[in-house]
């Protein structure tokens, strides 16, 4: 619990409606998008001015009180999960778009501005903000910076780190730093890259300047069906090796296709073992040429059916199924657990095969939805939280999937972040030297470890315990796989 | 080789100057120390065109990497400058330099997926990986890009690569500086296949890349004269081989918001990167140049020549410097790696 004296200090710098203390007010903040983890915060601060943010940080710094930052709370790794004894600081009231410069193609916004709101504000100039996480209608740009959020179009347009020009942040020691600029580079170290994706561990973001891109002249979507998921996986690599850089390249397996079709009636071929959605964009001519090439490559890769959307309505329909995949799969079981591993594309067939075996072993079904072009998997593990022990089983299955990704040279998280969820798997992906370096970086910005404690980077002690649990019986997980 | 390099770093009592091809010896503050030659640590570790990912040891010559990519119809998207035949991957990333395609495709750091380094204690650290998307842990790989070897010796890097455009065409327009800047910004805001731009002495050169049909239509829309030797034009500029870059006057690089106004500084000028990069040959006062760049939202680097006593790089605000010093202390606690190359005693 936070000491009453600290609450009193917070009350002295914040108006009453900016500080929540009653249990019924705190309850909505007990979790973020990863609802399997819940913890009612001690206190929630909803500041309205930068001076209030500075005061909160100063009080926390002086009193050694931890802080957890939060945007819209749509994150799916528990990054905004409240920590006992900490202030939960929500930046959602900083929701103003400060300026849009159509000539220089940039937008300067407060951190609580929603991702989609930026593109909406830029639309009159035929410009948009490229990263489009599936939560873009609700998630904030401050949260996107903290998580280095991705989306469907990362392969061509990059992640948040590739689309942010500058951030203004506040450190726990009260230093206000402008990192990056409206120019394309800045002197000194690339702290913009370091802070993007730092999961609220290093500083709080006060302002973000993002790059806007011209809207492509034309977009086209090709849908391909495969009678074998391995062939679908191989086709992904073939498209890219064929010299096409699609704006989006998505894949769904049979279970996901069936669920999506039943839910969204997208017109997907139901007998397919896998479908691919390939979106190409650019000028009229580029799109025409790319569509022809993509069709040829997909057919050569063994697609049983290739359809090009006839018009915008059909494009939307193709996408509707993919975009509804999560809620659609959600109807198959009381709960699902969404994973976020990445692998080299070439490992797709192997990993899928191995995942099917794991599904049998854990006796839990899994539906697969991927940003296949990026090698980013989103396996959805179906379970029933009301059945005793089933969540633990799902969690263990999820951990096995992530470790499978690492064993194939991939990563435990492509775009969702580590948060609290994948903290143990960090011990699998990184050695103690790298984890030590991460703790060193953390100490540069937050020497007392007050920002989002216990998240993103595990202590070596925790890893030792996790490792001990793992090698029990002398068996490494996936010992058959080469490790390098 | 890595073990030997690590041992050398651990054992040294004298600051080390990291060096491979030496093609960018001129860049940054001139420093003294024992040479740590990393040029022997070379070779392409893995490359699969279908993955769009290449991993190479940092002493690998840039030319070797580009030749391999070229054979598979791919390229380095940031079009790095070479400044001679000796340039290596490590030096390119340590300096964080990008060429004409940068505003349209991304910078050196944008293409880095993973990095292995030896820190100042000789410890071998592996950050990032070989996948396009990876948000596990702090992005220490990209932190290394442009750090001039002051945080670690870069030993191996994985990069995202791009398919080469089907065709390219260079157009030229007679335009004054103000109009050229306006056009560059306007065109960048439209869905045109622009991949490079350069204004010098009243001529704006524009490179278009992509499907031939798209280029033809853009040409029909934009007009301009067809430059017959586009590839050489961009390569010579990229590597500073044109007449502009010769002579004894100091060479400054100004990095600015693309819509910044024409410069009021004395000297000869080239504008690139859609207005976001301006090269200046001038003996104007360093303070004056930096003040002008800062007033317009950018910074100025004394790129080559001149008196580096004024600092090769734009000074950092005090608060920002505090965190730079802490990071330096974290990665290189004894201050042995390229000490002073970026900022004095740093």
**Using CA atoms, how far apart are residues A402 and B134, in angstroms rounded to an integer?**
12
Nearest by CB: A187 against B52, B257, B299: B299
**What is the C-alpha to C-alpha distance for residues A318 and A308, in angstroms, rounded to an integer?**
10
Q: Looking at per-residue confidence, does A123 or B309 come out higher?
A: A123
Prediction pTM value = 0.95
Contacts of residue A245 in chain B, CB cutoff 8 Å?
162-163
B11-17, long-range: CB within 8 Å, 24+ apart, which pairs?
A: B12/B336, B14/B336, B15/B335, B15/B336, B15/B337, B15/B338, B15/B339, B15/B340, B16/B336, B16/B337, B16/B338, B17/B338, B17/B341
**CA gap A160, A215 in Å, rounded:** 17
- B129, B135, B208: best mutation site toward chain A, by most A Cβ within 10 Å? B135
CB < 8 Å to A300, chain B:
none
pLDDT at A346: 87
pLDDT of residue B102: 98
- The pLDDT, as a whole number, for residue A241 is 87
Interface test with B, best of A100, A102, A187 (most B CBs within 10 A): A187
The pLDDT tens digits for A199-214 are 999 999 999 999 999 9
Q: Do A243 and B322 touch (CB under 8 A)?
A: no
From the list A178, A444, A457, the residue facing B137 with the nearest CB is A457
Q: By three-state DSSP, how is residue B258 classified?
A: coil
Q: What does the pLDDT read at residue B310?
A: 83
pLDDT on residue B309: 83
Tell me what pLDDT residue A464 has.
87
In order, the DSSP letters of B106-156 are: --HHHHEEEEEEE-TT--EEEEE-SSS---SS--HHHHHTTSTTSS-EEEE
Write the pLDDT tens digit of every residue in A258-312.
Answer: 999 999 999 999 899 999 999 999 999 899 999 999 999 999 999 999 999 999 9
> Is any Cβ of chain A less than 8 angstroms from the Cβ of B247?
no
Optimal mutation site among A427, A437, A460, A484, interface B, most CBs of chain B within 10 A: A437
Q: Which residues of B touch A290 (CB under 8 A)?
A: 211
Q: According to the model, what pLDDT value does residue A54 have? A: 98
Facing A158 at nearest CB: one of B106, B186, B329: B106
CB-based contact B257 A183, cutoff 8 Å: yes
Domains annotated on chain B, with CATH: 2-163+322-331 (3.30.465.10), 167-238 (3.30.70), 243-310 (3.30.70)
Considering CB atoms only, which of A104, A183, A237 is closest to B255? A183
Interface of B with A in 276-315 (CB under 8 A): 276-277, 297-299, 301, 313-315
User: A236 near A268, Cβ under 8 Å?
Assistant: no
pLDDT at site A469: 52
Nearest residue in chain A measured CA to CA from B218: A283
Residue B127 has its nearest CB partner, among A215, A371, A434, at: A434
Cα A177–Cα A183–Cα A188 angle in degrees, nearest 5: 50
- Quick: pLDDT tens for B163-207: 999 999 999 999 999 999 999 999 999 999 999 999 999 999 999
Cβ of B189 within 8 Å of Cβ of A103? The answer is yes
Yes or no, beta carbons of B257 and A104 under 8 Å apart = yes
Percent of chain B beyond pLDDT 70?
Answer: 100
Chain A residues closer than 8 Å to B297 by CB? 181-183
Q: What pLDDT does residue A393 have?
A: 95
CB contact under 8 A, A289 and B164: no
Size of interface A-B (CB pairs under 8 A): 273
Closest chain B residue to A441 measured between Cα atoms?
B327
Predicted confidence at residue B64, as pLDDT, reads 98
Judge: B211–A285 Cβ closer than 8 Å, yes or no.
yes
CA distance A17 to chain B (A): 33
- The interface pTM score, or ipTM, of the predicted complex is 0.97
**DSSP type of residue A330:** H
Min distance B86 CA to chain A CA atoms (Å): 25
The DSSP-derived string for A51-95 is HHHHHHHHHHHHHT--EEEESSS--SSSTT---TT-EEEE-TT--
pLDDT tens profile B278-296: 999 999 999 999 999 999 9
Which one of A127, A345, A417 has the shortest CB-CB distance to B51?
A345
Give the model's pLDDT for residue A180: 98
Q: Measure in Å the smallest separation between the Cα of B100 and chain A Cα atoms.
A: 13
Q: What pLDDT score was predicted for residue B300?
A: 98
Neighbouring-strand partners of residue B124: B118
Q: State the smallest CA–CA distance between residue A85 and chain B in angstroms.
A: 25
Give pLDDT < 50 ranges for chain A: 471-484
Cα distance between residue A116 and residue A135, in whole Å: 9
Choose the mutation target among B138, B259, B341 for the interface with A, i.e. most A CBs under 10 Å: B138
pLDDT digits (tens, 9 = 90+) for B83-100: 999 999 999 999 999 999
Which chain B residues have a beta carbon less than 8 Å from that of A346?
Answer: 48, 50-51
- Cβ–Cβ of B102/A344 closer than 8 Å? no
Q: Which of A79, A151, A76, A138 is nearest to A112 (CA)?
A: A138
A43-45 and A87-90 strand pairing = parallel
């Amino acid at each position: 619990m936070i000491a009453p004296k600290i609450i009193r200090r917070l009350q002295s710098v914040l108006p009453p409606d900016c500080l929540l203390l009653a249990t019924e007010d705190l309850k909505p903040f007990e979790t973020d998008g990863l609802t399997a983890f819940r913890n009612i915060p001690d206190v929630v601060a909803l500041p309205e001015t930068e001076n209030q943010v500075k005061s909160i940080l100063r009080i926390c710094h002086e009193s050694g009180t931890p802080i957890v930052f939060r945007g819209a709370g749509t994150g799916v790794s528990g990054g905004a999960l409240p920590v006992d004894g900490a202030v939960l600081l929500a930046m959602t009231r900083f929701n103003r778009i400060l300026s849009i410069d159509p000539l220089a193609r940039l937008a300067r916004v407060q951190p609580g501005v929603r991702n989609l709101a930026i593109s909406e504000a830029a639309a009159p100039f035929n410009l948009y903000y490229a990263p489009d996480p599936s939560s873009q209608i609700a998630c904030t740009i401050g949260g996107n910076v903290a998580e280095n959020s991705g989306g469907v179009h990362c392969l061509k347009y990059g992640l948040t780190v590739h689309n942010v020009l500058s951030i203004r942040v506040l450190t726990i020691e009260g230093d206000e730093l402008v990192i990056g600029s409206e120019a394309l580079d800045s002197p000194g170290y690339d702290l913009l890259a370091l802070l993007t994706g730092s999961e609220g561990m290093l500083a709080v973001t006060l302002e973000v300047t993002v790059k806007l891109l011209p809207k492509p002249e034309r977009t086209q979507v090709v849908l391909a069906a495969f009678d074998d998921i391995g062939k679908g996986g191989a086709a992904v690599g073939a498209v890219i090796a064929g010299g096409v850089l699609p704006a989006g390249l998505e894949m769904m397996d049979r279970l996901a296709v069936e669920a999506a079709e039943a839910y969204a009636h997208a017109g997907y071929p139901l007998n397919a073992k896998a479908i691919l959605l390939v979106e190409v964009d650019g000028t009229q001519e580029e799109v025409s040429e790319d569509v022809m090439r993509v069709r040829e490559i997909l057919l050569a890769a063994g697609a049983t059916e290739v359809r090009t959307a006839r018009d915008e309505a059909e494009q939307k329909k193709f996408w509707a199924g993919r975009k509804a995949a999560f809620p659609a799969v959600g109807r198959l079981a009381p709960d699902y657990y969404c994973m976020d591993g990445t692998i080299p594309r070439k490992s797709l067939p192997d990993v899928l095969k191995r995942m099917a075996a794991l599904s049998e072993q854990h006796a839990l079904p899994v539906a697969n939805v991927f940003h296949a072009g990026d090698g980013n998997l989103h396996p959805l593990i179906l379970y029933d939280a009301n059945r005793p022990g089933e969540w633990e089983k799902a969690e263990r299955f999820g951990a096995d999937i992530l470790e499978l990704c690492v064993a194939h040279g991939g990563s435990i998280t492509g775009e969702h972040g580590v948060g609290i969820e994948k903290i143990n798997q960090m011990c699998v992906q990184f050695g103690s030297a790298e984890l030590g370096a991460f703790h060193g970086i953390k100490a540069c910005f937050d020497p007392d470890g007050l920002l989002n404690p216990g998240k993103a980077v595990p202590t070596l002690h925790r890893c030792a315990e996790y490792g001990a649990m793992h090698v029990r019986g002398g068996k490494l997980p996936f010992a058959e796989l080469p490790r390098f | 080789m890595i073990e030997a390099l690590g041992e050398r770093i651990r054992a040294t009592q004298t600051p080390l100057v990291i060096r491979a091809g030496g093609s960018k010896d001129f860049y940054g503050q001139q420093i003294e120390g024992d040479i740590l030659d990393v040029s022997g640590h070379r070779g392409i570790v893995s490359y699969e065109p279908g993955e769009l990912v290449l991993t190479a040891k940092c002493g690998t010559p840039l030319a070797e990497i580009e030749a391999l990519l070229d054979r598979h119809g791919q390229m380095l998207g940031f079009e790095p400058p070479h400044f001679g035949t000796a340039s290596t991957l490590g030096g390119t990333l340590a300096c964080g330099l990008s060429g004409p395609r940068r505003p349209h495709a991304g910078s050196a750091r944008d293409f880095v997926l993973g990095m292995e380094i030896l820190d100042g204690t000789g410890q071998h650290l592996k950050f990032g990986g070989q996948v396009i998307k990876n948000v596990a842990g702090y992005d220490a790989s990209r932190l290394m890009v442009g750090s001039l070897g002051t945080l670690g010796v870069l030993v191996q890097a994985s990069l995202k690569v791009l398919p080469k455009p089907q065709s390219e065409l260079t157009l030229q327009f007679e335009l004054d500086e103000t109009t050229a800047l306006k056009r560059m910004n306007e065109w960048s805001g439209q869905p045109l296949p622009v991949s490079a731009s350069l204004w010098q002495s009243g001529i704006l050169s524009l490179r278009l890349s992509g499907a031939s049909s798209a280029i033809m239509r853009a040409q029909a829309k934009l007009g301009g004269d067809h430059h017959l030797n586009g590839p050489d034009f961009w390569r010579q500029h990229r590597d500073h081989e044109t007449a502009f870059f010769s002579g004894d006057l100091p060479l400054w690089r100004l990095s600015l918001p693309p819509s910044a106004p024409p410069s009021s500084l004395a000297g000869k000028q080239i504008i690139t990167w859609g207005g976001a990069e301006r090269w200046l040959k001038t003996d104007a006062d360093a303070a004056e140049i930096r003040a002008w760049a800062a007033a317009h939202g950018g910074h100025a680097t004394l790129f080559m020549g001149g008196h580096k006593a004024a600092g090769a790089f734009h000074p950092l605000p005090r608060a920002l410097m505090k965190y730079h010093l802490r990071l330096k202390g974290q990665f290189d606690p004894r201050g042995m790696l390229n000490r002073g190359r970026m900022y004095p005693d740093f």
